[in-house]
Amino acid sequence: MKKKFLYFLLFITSFGWMSCEKNNFAEGVLSPITSIEDVRGLYVDADVLLDKDKLMGAEKITGVVISNPDAANVPSGMVIIQNTRRSRTRGIILALENASTYKPGDSLMININGKTLTKINGSLQITGLTESAVEKIASDRPLRTQVTSSLNINQRPRDFESTLVQIKSGTINPVPLPTDVFEGDKSVVNGADSVFLHTEAAANFANVTLPANATFTGIIFLKELTADSLQIQLWPRSIDDITDQVAPPDPNGPGLGKFPILITGFVNDSKGSDGNYEYFQFIATRDIDFEKNPISVVTCTNAGTATPYPGTAPAGGWATGGGRTYKFNITSGTVSKGEFFYVGGSNKRINGPNSTNISSAKWLAAINYVTNAGDGFGNASSGLLPNSGNAGGIAVFEGINVTETSIPLDVVFFGGTGKTTIFNEVAGQGYRIVDNDRYSTIDVATSTNQPFFFQGTNQFIIPHSTPSDAGYFVKLGGVYNTTTKAWTSPRTHTFYLMSPTSEITEIQASNVTTLTN
């Protein structure tokens, strides 16, 4: 009995000893390093003197330099760093007299104890730094570039401030002349929103010819115009940040004219998965060289939960982007009068997975839209067009600069008849149409302007095919006169049921649009 009591006493004592040791270990030591995000969070409308108390015992931050002094397109005396913590990338400006000595990829450790967090010209920066407060840890570290849209940047400007971003297929608005150069502020449209491309007069690429469209990489700066107004600026670090450039059109060059391209069919609900299997068919009414006369194809979807502008009409119209509209650019290749061509998902199958490969057809643009954003706007998506519910649409535009006011070359709509997410008459918001076989910008009976779908007499809509997931190709058959540039017979729809072994010839014959002279 005594032995049992002794064992019990030893057990209790050892347990208590181990518990005390665990508690002491758990107390730990506070890290001397804090994140850029936590430092930024300290600023609330007034300068902040940084110290260990405010920084929870920390006194340093780390980051990788993203600014490049060599091209001279960075504010004088500033080094911009960013780091990624908890899957969030944040950046900040360091005010340093020797700023030009730090290069992109330099990894820095900065002692910020006793320094000041302030806002100058709209962007946060740390001042009071000396050369001794900055320690270079390494060189040539990889730079994280956030690929995003102007819509996302406008929605969360402070999150992107002082970070390196890339905007794919941005369009300069208004369209530049062939002699325009980078110097100054240029509006870059990407979806329903824009940012300003800023180039200093001293930048070594200030006098380089400005493209009409390109992929733009650079650092986001915020400029306070008023207490309630921010100008979002994208500062390229060098000319190498401007890629995929498309030159401005020749203002004296020929345009495409009326109805150069007609929408003749589409697949919105292939058999099985729709991801990267949706596609659109067109016919050319004239010979076109798309390098000289680029075009764009835009799709729209309008479910009540689709963003931006959920539950209401899109303020940006066809250029809204996000989960509402998606753009394909056609900037190369040729097509002959009377030739069918295709735009759509990268899988290039006639009717969903394991069906006939139709990559040998005339494809002028194909994107893996499940994982990739559109050319200029539109989020990656499992499907670009609806299979049920509110209407979806397809539009073709001359050029690749699509804005809210752009008028399509051709347009069709299909699906449900709900109007709430498609047209807002009071605000004058929605999808613009063109005078074609089914839509008119003026009500002939009343001479009233009606530039939007579902406005006035613009009520024509192709119904959804049923049953769903059957694998229909929607043929749009009409007769178009290429001499008078008018429809002899308006387009009507035919739901052509495809099989996995259907061939391309089946969707290019019978009940399709034909051309006459």
User: 3-state class of 123 per DSSP?
Assistant: strand
At 206 the pLDDT is 96
Last residue of one domain, picked from the residues 219, 246, 273: 246
- Is 50 a member of any domain? yes
Residues 326 and 269 occupy one common structural domain: yes
Distance of alpha carbon 135 from alpha carbon 121, whole angstroms:
27
Residues 176 and 267 occupy one common structural domain: no
**Token pair in block for residue 325:** 């509209």
CA distances from 217 to 8, 45, 234 (A): 70, 30, 8
Residues 195 and 55 occupy one common structural domain: no
pLDDT bin (cut points 50, 70, 90) of residue 78 is very high
pLDDT bin (cut points 50, 70, 90) of residue 9 is very low
Distance of alpha carbon 61 from alpha carbon 84, whole angstroms:
12
Residues 129 and 205 occupy one common structural domain: no
Residues 221 and 302 occupy one common structural domain: no
Distance of alpha carbon 365 from alpha carbon 400, whole angstroms:
13
Number of domains in the chain: 3
pLDDT bin (cut points 50, 70, 90) of residue 29 is low
Residues 118 and 169 occupy one common structural domain: no
- Is 19 a member of any domain? no
Residues 161 and 272 occupy one common structural domain: no
pLDDT bin (cut points 50, 70, 90) of residue 252 is low
At 23 the pLDDT is 38
Q: In this structure, which amino acid lies at residue 223?
A: K
Last residue of one domain, picked from the residues 138, 167, 199: 138
- Is 117 a member of any domain? yes
User: Does residue 53 or residue 9 have the better pLDDT?
Assistant: 53
Instruction: Check whether 21 has a pLDDT greater than 90.
Output: no
CA distances from 131 to 112, 115, 128, 135, 383 (A): 12, 13, 10, 8, 53
Q: At 66, which CATH number?
A: 2.40.50.140
- Is 500 a member of any domain? yes
What is the DSSP code string of 459-498? ---BPPPSSTTS-EEEEEEEEEETTTTEEEEEEEEEEEE-
Last residue of one domain, picked from the residues 89, 110, 138: 138
Tell me the pTM. 0.70
- Is 10 a member of any domain? no
Which residue segment(s) compose the domain that 207 sits in? 146-246
Residue 290 CB-half CA count within 13 A: 22
Beta strands in 254-324 (DSSP E): 261-267, 279-284, 288-289, 295-300
The percentage of residues in the chain with a pLDDT greater than 70, rounded to a whole number, is: 93
- Is 93 a member of any domain? yes
Instruction: Check whether 325 has a pLDDT greater than 90.
Output: yes
Distance of alpha carbon 105 from alpha carbon 143, whole angstroms:
6
Residues 299 and 200 occupy one common structural domain: no
Torsion of CA 64, 70, 73, 76, to 10 degrees: 80
Instruction: Check whether 326 has a pLDDT greater than 90.
Output: yes
Tens of pLDDT, residue by residue over 347-387, are 999 999 999 999 999 999 999 999 999 998 999 999 999 99
CA atoms 212, 217, 218, 221: torsion sign: positive
Instruction: Check whether 448 has a pLDDT greater than 80.
Output: yes
Q: At 164, which CATH number?
A: 2.40.50
Instruction: Check whether 2 has a pLDDT greater than 80.
Output: no
